[in-house]
């Protein structure tokens, strides 16, 4: 790769951390419905962040995550008491990282490494700091600092402000097609981590690289 990439910027949820690792806790709370709950919960979590951005009614991602969980349980008609809600929200603070994360970050340690997430700091910091690879990161950037959810251009501009780089010096890495579309539209190089054989959204932009896991981005170093 002949590009002047100085900063490797990672989305968190679905990219570094498996959001569906909450399925175990969901199953423990609601036997036989763990997979269904985890999928609807994630879908509504994203939907609510987009809707709140459009409506101009920002709430932290932790609050959005709680609202999405409550919706999911109402939809499936399962009783969510305070104890189960606390257990499931805490599961989001202990998501499992993908197995190659530590290895890939270690090989990129001569670059600027950052997380940029819609997650609020009260979700991101407990999650990231429990893992050894947190020491390899130069910065964890949350949209909480600007109260603009991705994929707005203003949110991606936060990366430039925090890292002191130009757009063309950033490789933005995400497993979420909407995030790739937003980052590419903003002017970042983009790497789509397509772990499950999905197809790209038809939004008039294409990622600069498509990989099965994070190891593929090492060709950019």
Rg from Cα positions in the chain? 17
Phi, psi of 7 (to 5 degrees): -125, 130
**What's the CA gap between 169 and 189, in Å, rounded?**
8
CA dist 93 and 127 (Å) reads: 5
Q: How far apart are CA 60 and CA 66, in angstroms?
A: 10
d(CA 154, CA 134): 26
Strands 17-18 and 96-97: antiparallel
**Residue found by looking up tokens 């189960």 in the block:** 84
* Catalytically annotated residue among 11, 81, 122, 161: 11
Dist. CA 89–CA 80, nearest whole Å: 12
- Gap between the Cα atoms of 156 and 148, Å rounded: 9
Let me know if 161 is a catalytic residue: no
Q: What Å distances lie between residue 117 and 27, 36, 65, 133, CA to CA?
A: 27, 24, 14, 17
Task: Measure the CA–CA gap between 34 and 46, rounded to whole angstroms.
Answer: 19
Active site residues: 11
């Amino acid at each position: 790769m002949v590009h002047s990439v100085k900063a490797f910027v990672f989305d968190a949820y679905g990219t570094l951390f498996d959001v569906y690792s909450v399925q175990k806790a969901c199953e423990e709370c609601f036997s036989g419905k763990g997979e269904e709950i985890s999928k609807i919960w994630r879908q509504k979590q994203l939907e609510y962040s987009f809707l709140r951005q459009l409506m101009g009614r920002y709430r932290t991602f932790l609050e959005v995550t709680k609202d999405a969980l409550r919706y999911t349980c109402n939809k499936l008609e399962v009783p969510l008491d305070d104890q189960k809600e606390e257990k499931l929200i805490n599961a989001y603070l202990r998501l499992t990282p993908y197995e190659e994360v530590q290895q890939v970050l270690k090989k990129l340690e001569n670059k600027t490494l950052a997380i940029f997430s819609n997650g609020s700091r009260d979700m991101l910091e407990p999650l990231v700091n429990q893992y050894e690879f947190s020491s390899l990161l130069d910065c964890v950037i949350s949209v909480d600092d600007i109260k603009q959810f991705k994929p707005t251009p203003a949110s991606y501009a936060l990366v430039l402000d925090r890292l002191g780089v130009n757009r063309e010096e950033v490789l933005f890495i995400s497993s979420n097609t909407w995030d790739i579309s937003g980052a590419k539209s903003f002017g970042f190089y983009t790497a789509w981590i397509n772990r499950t054989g999905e197809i790209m959204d038809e939004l008039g932009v294409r990622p600069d690289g498509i990989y099965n896991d994070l190891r593929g981005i090492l060709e950019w170093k």
